[in-house]
Every structure is written in C-alpha cells, then in structure tokens.
A and B are shown apart, each in its own frame.
Chain A
Amino acid sequence: MERKVFIEPVARVEGHGGIEVFVEGNKVKEVRVDIFEGPRLMEELVKGKYPQEAVSITSRICAICFLSHRLSDIRAHERALWVEPSERTRLLRKLGHYGEMIESHSLHYYLLALPDYLGYPDAISMMKAFPKEVKGALELKKYGNRVMEIVAGRRVHGENMRIGGFGSLPSEEDLDWIAQMARNLISEIERGLALWGKLQIPDYMEEETTFASVWPEDGAFGFSADTIKISDGTELPADEYKTLTNEYVAPHSFAKRCRYKGNPYTVGALARVLLMGERLDGEAKRWFKKYYNQRWWKNPHYNNIAQAIELLFCLEKIPSLVEKIKKADYYEAAPSRESGSGTGIVEAPRGLLIHHYEIEDMKVKDADFVIPTTQNLDDMEKYIRTAAQNLIDKGEKELELPLEMIMRAYDPCISCSVHMVRVRWK
C-alpha cells in the first residue's frame, strides 16, 4: 500500500514550499521539497542593463538577504570591470553585512528555531517563560535593521551601496552609535547561547554530508572572499563555482537544485563554522569550543547554534571595525575596462551566494545567480528522508515536528520557515 505524507506550511496553504513524503509499506520511497514560489527569471531580466542597474534589480531577489545579493552582485561587477574600491568602502560593506547577519540570525535563532526545542508553538508563547530572551531577540533584530538602514540606506532594498563606493557615507555619529550598541548587546547573545546548552538535540537524521563556504584570503573568519572551500579539502577560485554547484532543474521546484560530484551538500552558518571555526577568536571561539563535537558534521540542527555563534562574532567585531572605518581613506572607484567577466561570492545569512556576469561595452551580456537555498534543497530532502525512515513506526503525530524542524534548521527563507507545518496522511 502506498501512502503519502504531505507537509505544507499551514499558514501559507497555497504557499511557497511544502514537503511530500512517499511511503510504501514501512519504507520511505521518496521525499520531495516542493517549491511553489513562482519563477522570476532574474538572469534574463538583467541582460542589456548597465551594471549599476543590474545591482538594483538583483537585490530584489530576496528581501531578507537583499544586502548579501547586493554585495555579491557588486563584487562580480567590480571583478569584471577591474574596479578597486577604497579601504573605507570595503570596511563599510563588511559592517552592513554584519548588520544583515544580526537581523536575520536573531530572527531565526530566537524567534523561529528556539520555540521548537523549548516546546512552544511560537515566540509569543515563549514570552512568559523567557521574557528576557524574546525581548533581547527583538532588540537585536531592530539593531541589525538599523545598521542596514545607516549603511545601505533602507532596511529592505537599500540603494546606498554601489559599484565603486557609496551614494553617501554614514556620519561619524551614526557609526559611534553602532559601535556602542554592539558592546551593549553582547550580553543578550550570551544569554541565548547559554540556553542552547540545556537543549536535547535529536539524532534521528544524522548522516555525513559535504559542506561549502567562502574561504577568506586574509586568514580570518568572514563572509566574503574570492575563494570557495569545500569540506573534502578542495579550494576553488570563485570563477570555478560551477565545479561545486552543477545546477539542474527538478520538476517539483521553481528553484533549481545543486549537486557536488553527484551528491547533495550543505551551505550556511553550520558550514561556515565547521570550515572556518579554527579562525574564530574572542568569546565566539570560547562558545564554539564549548559546544562543538563530531555530531556537528552530521546534523543540520547545529546550524541554529552556529548562527548564534556568528551573532556573537559580529557584535564582537563591530567596535574595532568602526574604528578602522573612521580612519580609512575613501574614494569613488571607477571601472578600468568596459568588458570582461567576473564572479562575486559572499555568504548570505543562509549560505554561499554566487553572482556571475559577462559584461560587454558596459552592458550585461550574460548572468548567472546561485542562491543558498537552491544548494541546500537536496540535502534537506536527504535528511528528511533519513528522519522519516527512522521515525516511520511512531506514526503521524510523531513525524510532524521532527521533519518540520529539519527544514526550519536550514533557515530556507523567511517565507518558508516561519510558520508551522502540518502532516497529512493520505
């Protein structure tokens, strides 16, 4: 007898993502993460546009990661056109990037992921037992938003970051506020990190996988580079990203899929912390050492704590970064050539993000974008399949939350991860 377990985001019933589990007898035959989000054809839309116009268009791919999209787009154009940005430009971009990490991670770690582990349906119901944690998360989220507003111009789709520089530079007063608030908020994160130590982390999906992230050339932990690192030891120059991604179209998804050497792989905070963990310092390093164990290589749940460690990393780095920004020189950098190709890679909060361009006479001839969730979908299916197989005898109710928590751990995107999902046996 064939049965089908269908999980879909309840609140967005006609929504953008769902999970289908096909069961025969007591064996899970197939798992499909369906992506309903309609096609937007971004790669075609930028053709013929000026590079700066393309930057404005592609940051619209995602609201919560707009800044990462903007940064990888700008990087691709600057590499294609030989633009050498000033020191202040590079440091300010880094500050904006930290802002996005803080906003996105605080929302996901505290408000979306923790309620599952603590046995609450959502963050609002957590308020009574954990008022400091929930209020702290909102403070962090607001702070991350404010950093983006100051650096990038708006909380969503800010236009201030441009090829070669900035529309306007943030004031010294705003920069000082950013540094002071970062110092004030560190204790909020440490409260959240301490909470993790009290949780039981499930193991029914554990399985080895491959991880990939950026590999900063300066030897530091970071979110942008021109090199990709893979957990099998391979290092790839950004331009050779296709060796990693190998995109293909699956019939149940408008998001494309990726495989490395024929196998699924994982990107995101967990990949970063596993590959670059030895590069951490300060309190972030202390918390990483405290919690790290071999299960991290096999279990996507640890993506959540990896995000919390990155939150701390960003807050710890911001004060000294601000001091460097204030001393750094600034100029608006212009292209040194009008044709060429370039790849820009950065880490979006949910993983490796790649923008690639071919430019001819200052117009976009060709473009390719590879998004983190695209890269994670096949691994998400793999872990859900393993978990479903291991839990199949427990029945419908017991299957619901575990599968949903795996999907949520990947922080696939805000519209897919916020709401509860429901299992239906057919």
Chain B
Amino acid sequence: MSKPRIGIYGLTGCAGDQLNILNCEDELLKLFDIFEIKSFVMASSAADEESPLDVAFVEGSVSTEKDLEHLKEIRKKSRLLVAIGHCAVFGGVQSMFTGKKWEETYRAVYGKKDAVSLTRPLPPKPLSAYVKVDAVLPGCPIEKEPFLKLAGLLAKGVVPRHPDFPVCAECKWKENECLLLKGEICLGPLTNSGCGAICPSLNIPCIGCWGPIEKENWEAEAFLLKENGFSVEEVVKRFAIFGGEERAEKLKKFLEGKEG
C-alpha cells in the first residue's frame, strides 16, 4: 500500500498550529515516514503543489480573497480536508464578536477601506464557511497528543470526530479544585476538551481557547456564574474571545432572556 499523501497549509493566523506540529520533535521523523508529505512549507522547501492529496491539514482563518482562492485550490486537490486550530475551525480571535460591524473595525485600524490594495480583505471566517470540512482538531494552539492521534487514525483511513465533552471532564481526571466554585469565570464547561485542562491545572481559569463544544450546557454555566455575581455582559465578553461570532451572539440573547 502506498503512503497517504498529505499537505500542511496555513491561511491567516499566527502559524502556531504548524509550529506545534514542528514541535513534535521526537515524533516528527516518524510522521515523515508514515506519510508522503507533499507540502509543509514550515518544515521543507520541497513542495509539490500539482499532486493530488489524500489529506490536507489547514490552519488559519479565511481573511482575504487570496486565502479563499488558496483554500479552494486545496479543497479541489484533496480527498479529505482537516481544519486544524481555532482559526480554521471557529475563525480565531480575529472573528471575535464585538457588537460592531467588521468593516467599521477594519477602517479603525487601516484608516480607509482600500488602504491596502494587495488583495481584498474579508471578514474572517472558519474554513467551513466556504468549503466542506471532513474533520476538525480545535485548539489555540492544537496540542501534540491529539494531533498525533488524529494523524494516526487518518493514516489508517479512519475519519474521527473530535470528542464532544468539555474541559471539565479532563479537569476532573486531574483532580483539580473547581475554579468556578472558587468564584472565577472559568469557561471549562463550555469549551472543547483536548488541551488536558492545562490552565485550570495551573490555577488559571479556562479562557475557552479550544472553542465552544457542540452541546453547550449554557443553563448550568449561566446559573453558576450568576450565583457568583458575574453579569451577562462579563460572561459574554469572555466567551466571545474564542466563541466565534455567531455563538457569542446566541449566548448573549440566551442569557439576556434568562435574566428577563
């Protein structure tokens, strides 16, 4: 059997997910052995962009027309497309819900709409806003263990779903004291697991950087936070950082409804 052909790409973001693949220092050679890597710009200059791919891993959000063209080309030549990292899965911090229109925000930074003529900027969106995404690995950034697990399964032809339990589960396994009960705004119950509850284990409340889980237990979270005296505004503001625009707006409406 021939080796699966893969490509690893980046759109707009901080390149942290590709960097963490490179940071698999001890496993990197094995990875290069299992797969035939056709394109991985951060590791090698030898890229073959003509070859069809079995799997394309893409990080970053679609933030310019150039990003969009690139994404469509990758989709066309790849059997499976995997979104890696928060930007690709949810849009990244750049797609944060601020209550303002993106165009206004853009003008506030660059002065006018057409200040940069290189390529047209677009409101940042996750890959799924434009193309079919076959699997996801969230995280800001992704972590080594879940990435290696995902890559291993894909090598065997299995397309896994990201587990839909929250950070709280991993936090319990580590036997940490619950930060919500200590009065902190911890987003653990609303956030995808996979990081190993690293922040709560360091006594730092979860900021939600693995993005919102599918089955959000909003009532429980809202109830706990309300009991601890946090306002709807505070909770939404925190959730909005990594919540993706759409969900943050939804959460706001939900919590405001609960208040009324």
Contacts and interface: CB of A to CB of B under 8 A. Distances in A.
A and B bind: yes
Interface of A: 9-16, 34-45, 47-50, 53, 56-57, 60-64, 66, 121-122, 124, 138, 141-142, 145, 153-157, 159-160, 162, 167-168, 249-254, 413-415, 418-420
A168 B118 contact: no
A415 B10 contact: yes
Interface in B191-250: 198-199, 202-204, 207, 209, 237-238, 241
- Closest 7 A-B residue pairs measured CB to CB? A38-B63, A63-B16, A38-B12, A11-B41, A167-B204, A14-B70, A420-B45
A38 B41 contact: no
Contact of B209 (A10, A34, A157, A249): A157
Contacts of A64: 15, 19
B118 A156 contact: no
Interface in B99-114: 100, 105-106, 108-111
A254 B116 contact: yes
Contact of B45 (A39, A121, A251): A121
Contacts of B238: 53
B237 A53 contact: yes
30 contacts: A11-B47, A12-B41, A14-B69, A15-B41, A36-B66, A38-B63, A38-B121, A38-B124, A39-B110, A40-B12, A40-B92, A40-B93, A43-B109, A44-B98, A45-B93, A47-B98, A60-B16, A61-B14, A62-B14, A154-B198, A156-B20, A157-B141, A159-B204, A167-B202, A251-B117, A253-B116, A253-B118, A414-B19, A415-B15, A418-B45
B43 interface: yes
A202 B148 CA distance: 42
Interface residues of B, number: 61
Contacts of B39: 11
B12 A159 contact: no
Contacts of B94: 38-42, 45
B121 A254 contact: yes
B119 interface: yes
Contacts of A124: 44
A349 to B, nearest CB: 13
Nearest to A39: B121
B25 interface: yes
B195 to A, nearest CB: 8
A301 B257 CA distance: 61
B16 A156 contact: yes
A63 B10 CA distance: 13
B202 A142 contact: no
Contacts of A45: 93-94, 96, 98, 105
Contacts of A14: 66-67, 69-70, 73
Q: Which of B15, B47, B122 has most A Cβ within 10 Å?
A: B15
B23 interface: yes
B116 A249 contact: yes
Contacts, number: 184
B199 A159 contact: yes
B180 to A, nearest CB: 16
A415 B42 contact: yes
B81 interface: no
A174 to B, nearest CB: 13
Contact of B207 (A38, A154, A159): A159
A76 B203 CA distance: 23
B47 A10 contact: yes
B112 to A, nearest CB: 9
Given A41-B109, A62-B14, A122-B44, A141 B117 contact: no
Nearest to A56: B207
B6 interface: no
Interface string B153-187: 00000000000000000000000000000000000
Contacts of A121: 45
A75 B177 CA distance: 30
Contacts of A167: 199, 202-204
Given A12-B41, A15-B41, A168-B204, 20 more contacts: A11-B40, A35-B118, A38-B11, A39-B110, A40-B12, A43-B108, A43-B109, A44-B105, A62-B15, A63-B16, A63-B19, A63-B20, A154-B198, A159-B198, A167-B203, A167-B204, A254-B116, A254-B118, A418-B41, A419-B45
Interface string B9-51: 0111011111110010100000000000001111111010100
Q: Which of B106, B110, B116 has the most CB of A within 10 A?
A: B116
A47 B96 CA distance: 12
Given A153-B202, A156-B20, A60 B41 contact: no
